């Protein structure tokens, strides 16, 4: 179920894999995305399995309707409908925040002393548009000062070919994202751009290795087209 997990005092952070679950091909496994054509009952069962693995009730996880934008929602409870945003922030304990990916970069952020956590989805548009400073700013508005971040697996630069003009536009925002593929064609390293943006904001980063396209246990839109979604989830437990 978990590709990576960290438990540190009251803080739980995970990045899931596709292993386990109830979804049938082509979503085979623990697909957590409800917008990809999978059986809604299978997705609901997969989300319950995830919640059980975290020791949470399924109705304590906040999901997003992600749109490759830069809007952030500050939440203190699970809303009736997933907010149409690409980042979530909360100061409420025992409320889990989730981000879905299938090549994009998942970001989990926390300041346990301030009691503030966040989760963000950074594809190329979000990285270029400024989702990183937006979510960090929202956390700081709630009192976070010593923020740390975990970056989950995403498509690597070697596997993310783009037109040269697109790469150049991204590099104007984050020079570290300028890259080439295995064959030397233009590419973008979104995760490297995200890490550099976080570092520029004074945030310590733990970068979990792995390329989604190269790893069968992870979902990849670039590799498979119709596919599922893994998740990054963060929760701060009550003391």
Q: Using 50, 70 and 90 to split pLDDT, how confident is the model at 234?
A: very high
CA dist., res. 146 & res. 154, Å (int): 25
Query: Cα separation of 37 and 202, whole Å?
Result: 40
Domains and CATH numbers, the chain: 2-236 (3.60.140.10)
Contact 152, 206 (CB under 8 A): no
Closest CA relative to residue 13, chosen from 211, 206, 216: 206
Distance CA 109, CA 132 (A): 10
Q: pLDDT confidence of 191, banded at 50, 70, 90?
A: very high
Asked if the model's pLDDT at residue 239 lies above 90, the reply is: no
Cα torsion through 146, 115, 90, 33, rounded to 10: 80
Burial of 176 (0-12, 13-18, 19+ CB in 10 A): middle
- Whether the pLDDT of residue 46 is over 90: the answer is yes
């Amino acid at each position: 179920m978990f590709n990576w997990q960290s438990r540190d005092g009251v803080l739980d952070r995970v990045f899931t894999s596709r292993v386990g679950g109830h979804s049938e091909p082509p979503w085979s496994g623990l697909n957590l995305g409800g917008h990809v054509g999978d059986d809604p009952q299978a997705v609901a069962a997969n989300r319950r399995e995830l919640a059980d693995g975290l020791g949470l009730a399924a109705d304590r996880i906040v999901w997003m309707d992600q749109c490759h934008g830069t809007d952030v929602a500050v939440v203190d409870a699970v809303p009736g409908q997933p907010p149409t945003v690409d980042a979530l922030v909360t100061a409420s304990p025992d409320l889990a925040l989730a981000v879905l990916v299938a090549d994009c970069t998942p970001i989990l952020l926390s300041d346990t002393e301030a009691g503030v956590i966040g989760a963000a989805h950074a594809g190329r548009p979000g990285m270029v548009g400024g989702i990183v400073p937006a979510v960090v700013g929202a956390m700081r508005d709630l009192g976070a000062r010593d923020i740390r971040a975990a970056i989950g697996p995403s498509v690597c630069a070697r596997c993310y070919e783009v037109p040269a003009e697109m790469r150049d536009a991204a590099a104007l925002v984050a020079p570290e994202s300028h890259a080439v593929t295995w064959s030397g064609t233009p590419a973008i390293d979104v995760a490297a751009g995200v890490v550099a943006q976080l570092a520029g904001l004074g945030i310590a980063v733990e970068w979990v290795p792995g390329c989604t396209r190269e790893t069968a246990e992870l979902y990849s839109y670039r590799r498979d087209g119709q596919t599922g979604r893994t998740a990054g989830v963060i929760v701060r437990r009550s003391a």
